[in-house]
Structure 1
Amino acid sequence: MKINLQEKGFESPLPLQKLIWSKIKGGLSMFCIAPKNAGKTTAIILSVIQKLNGQAFEEAPRALIFVKDKEAALDLETEFKTYTRGTDLRVYCAYEEHNIELQREDLYLGTDIVIATPKRLNKIFYLNGINLNKLQMFIVDDAEFLFRNSNFEEVSRTPESLEKCQYLIFSTKFDTRFERWKDSFMFNSQTILFK
């Protein structure tokens, strides 16, 4: 991964990344509130790779990342593939514009990291098309999108099916509706406000 970091021009962690990496590594659930270009996406990618030891394992995903739409999913997948070169980690995108039966089949064959839109992930889950029993990391990237349409409710359903899991929510602002998650599945979480 060091070579991949050098190729990306990544010389040392940004201040936000320095602040949160040890907390993520320690298993802390958190709301990370920081402006654009603070390094949130790279922090997500590197934290996931590190947590999964850069190695594929069995069939069920161990990291789930919610994003707002197909474009965001494909962009994040491209970034992941840059950093996971040289590892055997499998990254898979699930979004509405793709055939759901094909997605179920692909997921059945095995993946480590799923990047998904909330509606599609829930649909696949309720069709018994994804096993979340091995999930270690539940992440929402650019969480502002949660408060449009029914995304917040869709994402709130998933933790009902999970056992012990680390929750990481990345956003540019804290919304009071996040308090509901603090009261249900993120009660030991910390809020990091980075200016």
Structure 2
Amino acid sequence: MVFKKLHVDILEALERLHIETPTPFQTSSIPVIKSGANVFCIAPKDSGKTTTLIITTLQKLKCKAEGNAPRAMVIVENKDEVLALYDAFLKFTKYTSLRVYASYDELHIDVQKSEIYLGIDILITTPKTIQKLFLTNGVSVAALKICSVDDAKFLIQQNTFTSLTTTAESIKKCQYVVYADALHPKVKSLQNFFMEGARIVKQ
């Protein structure tokens, strides 16, 4: 079973949340993501994509806080998605030292900068907000290990697509994982920007 090869804190969280058996998508995707490759994860709703994102992020960070700059970043469409994913992460990180931060357009940028400065491990944000943080030197990506995009269909919109690709230009070395229900041509074109050599896991 895939779940047996994960950090003990993740296994304890899975047991606490009564998640006993990986979905077919999780069985095929988690080992590929753990390998460090850039990955397009394509699967329908309710196949376990969000749980996969959380598990592999925690695995990458070894379930412990370190330094002050974020080591993982997750990009979603809007405030509602940020807060929903933030709550989902907290269920897994409850008994770890990991610091998760919710960043979105409606929260004043100066507030975000001051709170991020105090130290975080996982940044959940939107394309527009992360671009604004970069432009105002509000966040460092020097320690970033993994960047994920959840439910990437929103990147079909040109403005969000541009915000993401512009942001990626500032990130020197990082693993990228993009989750979507379908591999839209616009999403697939990310391989021309920062998804070089990306593998595709599809259900």
Q: Deviation digits for residues 29-84 of structure 1, max 9, x if unmatched?
A: 11111000000000000101111000101011011100111111111011101001
Does residue 1:74 correspond to 2:83, yes or no?
A: yes
TM-score for the superposition, normalised by structure 2: 0.92
Does residue 1:116 correspond to 2:116, yes or no?
A: no
Match of 1:140 among 126, 140, 149: 149
Does residue 1:4 correspond to 2:13, yes or no?
A: yes
What SS is found at the alignment partner of 1:150? helix
Contact 2:152 2:187 in 1 (8 A): no
TM-score for the superposition, normalised by structure 1: 0.96
Q: 43-52 or 178-187: which moved more?
A: 178-187
Does residue 1:27 correspond to 2:36, yes or no?
A: yes
Q: Which residue of 2 aligns with 1:181?
A: 190
Q: Which residue of 2 aligns with 1:93?
A: 102
Q: 29-38 or 7-16: which moved more?
A: 7-16
Match of 1:162 among 163, 171, 183: 171
Counterpart Cα distance in 2 of 1:179 and 1:49: 26
Does residue 1:36 correspond to 2:41, yes or no?
A: no
Give the RMSD, CA atoms, in angstroms.
Answer: 1.1
Alignment coverage as a number of residue pairs? 194
What SS is found at the alignment partner of 2:169? helix
Deviation of 1:149 (Å): 5.6
Q: 145-154 or 42-51: which moved more?
A: 145-154
Structure 2 vs 1, CA of residues 49 and 118 (structure 1 numbering), >3 Å: closer, same or farther? Answer: same
Over the matched positions of the two proteins, sequence identity in percent amounts to 37
1:67 maps to amino acid? V
What SS is found at the alignment partner of 2:74? strand
Structure 2 vs 1, CA of residues 42 and 191 (structure 1 numbering), >3 Å: closer, same or farther? Answer: same
Q: 30-39 or 147-156: which moved more?
A: 147-156
Q: Which consecutive residues of structure 1, in runs of 5 or more, have no partner in the other structure?
A: none
Deviation of 1:180 (Å): 2.8
Any runs of at least 4 consecutive aligned residues in structure 1 with deviations exceeding 6 A, and if so which?
none
Match of 1:63 among 51, 57, 72: 72
What SS is found at the alignment partner of 2:179? strand
Q: Which consecutive residues of structure 2, in runs of 5 or more, have no partner in the other structure?
A: 1-8
